[in-house]
Homo-oligomer: A and B are copies of this chain.
Amino acid sequence: MSLALDSAAQDLLFREAHTANTFSDEPVTDEQIQAVYDLVKYAPTAFNQSPLRIVLIRSEEARERLAPLMAEGNREKTRNAPLVAILATDNEFHEELPELFPHFPQAKDVFFTERPVREKSAALNGSLQAGYFILGIRAAGLAAGPMTGFDFAGVQKEFLDGDHTPLMIVNIGKPGEGASYPRSPRLPYEQVVTTV
């Protein structure tokens, strides 16, 4: 069964791409991240709510604040990655809905008046967008190293505010020597997909 997506793109995004744990020294520019965003921003979220927010760690000072908040096994690679991005949700995303979802400008007041509802929706849709972003990094010819091993409350306190919840932190760059584990097994189709 052949897909509509060409084979080189399949390899770039999925088959030949690997999570990177070491990186080369080549910098990652703001222009590259903007190109990634300008591509993946089109992928869908519920009510086009687009709750993902991204904090790029560029200064040495910010990186030194972040490193101790990482789990020990993630500390060195986060210190050395060309670029580190904190992915978070904006739990007040509903303020943008009248502009983002002009087909139904009442959505803000019909569905999203309660903060716990917004947090749950932002977690789901922000995670969808995190998936799109990881593939977008690969689309730029870069490797991603997504991590959830860090002090979530500490990262929120140091880099965000009470309206933003961290989702994950992603190291970004060209892979270095021995960047990846060998490919781990995947579940067989029959174990994942059932039909009724």
Residue numbers of A with Cβ under 8 A of B are: 1-6, 8-10, 12-15, 17, 19, 30-44, 46, 48, 50, 52-59, 62, 96, 99-103, 121, 123-124, 127-132, 134-135, 138-141, 144, 146, 148, 159, 167-168, 181, 183-187, 189, 192-196
Contact = CB atoms under 8 A, between A and B. Distances in A.
A138 to B, nearest CB: 8
Contacts of A48: 184, 186
- In the assembly, how many copies of this chain are there? 2
Nearest to A61: B196
13 contacts: A3-B35, A4-B139, A5-B39, A5-B140, A14-B40, A37-B193, A42-B183, A48-B186, A50-B187, A54-B194, A56-B195, A127-B128, A127-B130
A123 B124 CA distance: 8
A129 B127 CA distance: 9
B128 A134 contact: yes
A2 B35 CA distance: 7
Nearest to A59: B196
Nearest to A33: B193
Contacts of A37: 189, 192-193
